Amino acid sequence: MRLGWLIVFALMTVLAILSFSKALKKKIGILSLGAKDERFDNPNQRFMNFVKLVLGQSKLINEPYGVVHFIIFWGFIFICLGELPLIFEGLFPAYSFPILGTNRYFYMIKDLMTALVIVGLCFGLIRRWVIKPAHLSRTPEAAIIVSLIFGVIVTEWIGSGAKVALDPSSSVYSLAIMYQSFATLFSGLSTHTLEVIESAFWWIHMLIVFGFLVYIPNSKHMHLLAVHPNTYFSSLKPIGGQIEKIDLEDEELTELGVNRIESFTWKQLLDSFACGECGRCMNNCPANISGKPLNPKRLISRQLKDHLLEKGAVLNAKGLTSTSDENADALAEIAENDPQAAEILQKSLIGDIVSEEEIWACTTCMSCQVQCPVANEHVNKIINMRQSLVMMDSNFPQELQTSFRNVENNANPWGIGYTERANWASDLDVKLISEQENVDYLFWVGCAGSFDSRAQKVTVAVSKILKAAGINFAILGTEEKCCGDFVRRSGNEYLFQTAAIENVEILNNYNVKKIITTCPHCLNTLKNEYPDFGGNYEVIHHTQFIDQLIKDGKLVLNSKAEFEPQRIVYHDSCYLGRYQQEFNSPRALFNMVPGVELVEMDRHHNKSFCCGAGGGRMWLEEQNDQRVNNLRVEQALDKNAEVIGANCPFCITMMEDGIKDKVDTEKQTVKVLDPAELIAKMIS
């Protein structure tokens, strides 16, 4: 290549890299506004998360159309690798690029993968613009990206086809079908014409590649860059233990929760850049599906990101790091001299960007987060905003005010006198831990299991099973208090910490090491959140424990027990399923019962649909046409079952309430049962 053209190429390269770097630096500057977050521990585990989620596409490969994305992803990697010999040999035609440029098998694989990318893109175009699923946006940005990818591939095929036609004897490209096809298409053209085609399309290709490079950090496809650090820095904590403890004793702490975009951590801000807007979160969000205003995709990729970019640009331009009170003088000066910038800085995250209705709609079911292929962490952002509403503004639904007060006064959300907590056990000879030494297990009954008449039936059944198996267990009785699950997820961190500290002190005083509970919410809190307060316990759900007792031969069931044949459709609770990844034990117990035909709902296991009670929603009213539990009951009734199987007291309540709304109980009886209720009837 002539010196003049080399200079032109060098200038193009420098300009593209400078433009790319400038845009990337701007984004990093905006991310740096976020609060500190220690995400640099355990590099080996973090790297494996990156390999699994990005290189392995583990969250996508089993999804509908996931294979298409897998092919496009890996095809794009081979396209990028192919750019190395293409650029080098275009600049220095007399030389071959080492290794890749001389390997015909590389070109064969690259050629095949590139062709599959074209097929995948065509499939994606049809899906997005013809089938038009609601979760996929049809924006100019999407069209530009697809056009650029098409342009990169086709121009390279044409230019390389001309190159092959100029030297058909070369064996390097002999296995590249697309190169050979275009070479055949060009057969009969003069050498000069082929040289012009090769050169022209090489330059066109380079312009498109550089345009792509410049466009990526300035578009929604910033996620192509952000997904790599986002997966690497994803939380290593259990999914149920990711709420960060607020140091309420920190006298310098002036803000509780988040009501300014820059108060989120840098990782929470990075989430918005990593979002690829695939829509899997919104397709699995019970709030969104039931018609509530919350849409997790829109929240992350539009509301928070657009506000972050707008406000972050102004903060950086003005040399500020936040709009907190410590910058009051600077903000006053901006308001006087730059009204447009002041208007942007004065926008409130809660109210102007995210509505209170959206914030309170979340059930904390974690489906959005579990389904997200790029490791975005949606739920904690909502909890952080709830914390601001509750602890800074005292602004929350009236129903929660009642529940909070009940926990404060009687250590349970029902408000029933705490002295009645152990009344369910009055005729069962269940021991109190205060009266028993060397107890192997504490049976943590929970508020529902203690006070709710329906949940008490499960509590009694489990107690009978434990006694039949000869388990040395006891309960706290009136010393047990609300674990604080719904309190924390409703944003009242202060009340939660008060409950947690009191409970941990009691448990540690009795030297409790192992806990059995019937409530998945209590299970998650005791297991994953109490360690932050000095409470480290081995906590197990009753279905897991009973299943193991039977497998170990410690609990013998009556093989002659008779039951009416019953078709049971099983409902995975969010807090045992997604939170603990326990799916097998409840199913195993149901399958041990004679006459049971166990069937699955369409949404099951990690894609199970929430009952609607989590995140404090148990205590909030909702419109009849937006009831999450009614939707779940409809999904169950579609399976023509006599029984809905459940493993959580809140799920049982919500399912039974839904049945009352959906079933004519005078003509049809649909029960909701915990497997322990059936197993208890099989005790020898």
Residue 468 · residue 683 · CB < 8 Å: yes
The predicted structure's pLDDT at residue 665: 58
Domains and CATH numbers, the chain: 3-32+63-233 (1.20.950), 261-393 (no CATH), 406-552 (3.40.50), 566-682 (no CATH)
**What is the rounded distance in angstroms from the CA atom of residue 470 to the CA atom of residue 30?**
60
For the packed helices 66-91 and 191-215, what is the interaxial angle rounded to 10 degrees?
120
**What is the rounded distance in angstroms from the CA atom of residue 137 to the CA atom of residue 463?**
53
Residue 353 · residue 347 · CB < 8 Å: yes
Question: How many CB atoms neighbour CB 278 within 10 A?
Answer: 23
**What is the rounded distance in angstroms from the CA atom of residue 415 to the CA atom of residue 482?**
11
| 167: CB partners within 8 A, 6+ apart | none
Among residues of the chain, what percentage have pLDDT more than 70? 99
Residue 652 · residue 646 · CB < 8 Å: yes
Chain centroid to CA 316: how far?
30
| 462: CB partners within 8 A, 6+ apart | 443, 516, 518, 542, 546, 676, 680
Residue 369 · residue 378 · CB < 8 Å: yes
Question: How many CB atoms neighbour CB 621 within 10 A?
Answer: 9
**What is the rounded distance in angstroms from the CA atom of residue 494 to the CA atom of residue 391?**
8
Over 90: is that where the pLDDT of 563 sits? no
**What is the rounded distance in angstroms from the CA atom of residue 368 to the CA atom of residue 312?**
26
Q: What average pLDDT score do residues 420-432 get?
A: 94
Over 80: is that where the pLDDT of 35 sits? yes
- Phi/psi of residue 193, nearest 5 degrees: -65, -40
**pLDDT tens-digit map of 154-209:** 999 999 999 999 988 888 888 889 999 999 999 889 999 999 999 999 999 999 99
Chain centroid to CA 439: how far?
39
Instruction: Please report, for residues 416, 417, 494, 499, 597, the alpha-carbon distance to residue 409 in angstroms, rounded to integers and kept in the order given.
Output: 9, 9, 15, 12, 45
**pLDDT tens-digit map of 636-675:** 999 999 999 999 999 999 999 999 887 765 546 899 999 9
Query: Tokens at residue 483, please?
Result: 């674990």
Residue 495 · residue 484 · CB < 8 Å: yes
**Burial of residue 527 (number of CB atoms within 10 Å: 0-12, 13-18, 19+):** buried
Closest CA to 668 of 622, 633, 629: 633
Q: What average pLDDT score do residues 442-455 get?
A: 97
Q: What is the b/e burial string over 162-194, where b = at least 16 CB atoms within 10 angstroms of the residue's CB? A: bbbbbeeeeebbebbebbbebbeebeeeeeeeb
**Burial of residue 455 (number of CB atoms within 10 Å: 0-12, 13-18, 19+):** buried
Instruction: Please report, for residues 162, 191, 448, 518, 527, the alpha-carbon distance to residue 455 in angstroms, rounded to integers and kept in the order given.
Output: 75, 85, 6, 9, 21
Residue 298 · residue 257 · CB < 8 Å: no
**pLDDT tens-digit map of 254-309:** 899 999 999 999 999 999 999 989 899 999 999 999 999 999 999 999 999 999 99
Chain centroid to CA 172: how far?
45
**What is the rounded distance in angstroms from the CA atom of residue 281 to the CA atom of residue 381?**
14
Q: What average pLDDT score do residues 70-87 get?
A: 92
Chain centroid to CA 182: how far?
45
**What is the rounded distance in angstroms from the CA atom of residue 327 to the CA atom of residue 14?**
39
β-bridge pairing 566-570 and 643-645 = parallel
**What is the rounded distance in angstroms from the CA atom of residue 548 to the CA atom of residue 316?**
58
CA dihedral over 547, 549, 553, 555, signed as positive or negative: negative
The predicted structure's pLDDT at residue 141: 81
Among residues of the chain, what percentage have pLDDT more than 90? 79
Residue 570 · residue 601 · CB < 8 Å: yes
**pLDDT tens-digit map of 479-494:** 999 999 999 999 999 9
Over 90: is that where the pLDDT of 677 sits? yes
Residue 457 · residue 451 · CB < 8 Å: no
Instruction: Please report, for residues 64, 79, 154, 161, 163, the alpha-carbon distance to residue 157 in angstroms, rounded to integers and kept in the order given.
Output: 30, 11, 5, 6, 10
Q: What average pLDDT score do residues 235-246 get?
A: 94
The secondary structure of 20-86 as a DSSP string is: HHHHHHHHHHHHTTSBP----S-HHHHHHHHIIIIIS-TTTTTSTTHHHHHHHHHHHHHHHHHHHHH
Question: How many CB atoms neighbour CB 490 within 10 A?
Answer: 28
pLDDT band at 684 (very low <50, low <70, confident <90, very high): low
**What is the rounded distance in angstroms from the CA atom of residue 215 to the CA atom of residue 534?**
50
Over 90: is that where the pLDDT of 537 sits? yes
Helices (H) and strands (E) in the chain, counts: 29, 8
DSSP element (H, E) containing 288:
helix 286-289
Closest CA to 225 of 293, 274, 298, 155: 274
**What is the rounded distance in angstroms from the CA atom of residue 237 to the CA atom of residue 222?**
26
CA dihedral over 585, 589, 592, 596, signed as positive or negative: negative
**Bigger pLDDT: 538 vs 130:** 538
Closest CA to 272 of 324, 209, 212, 349: 349
Over 80: is that where the pLDDT of 100 sits? yes
Strongest mean pLDDT among 60-64, 101-105, 251-255, 466-470? 466-470
Q: What average pLDDT score do residues 430-452 get?
A: 95
For the packed helices 649-662 and 628-637, what is the interaxial angle rounded to 10 degrees?
80
The predicted structure's pLDDT at residue 303: 96
- Phi/psi of residue 45, nearest 5 degrees: -65, -40
Average pLDDT, the chain: 93
The predicted structure's pLDDT at residue 221: 81
DSSP-derived 3-state class of residue 597: strand
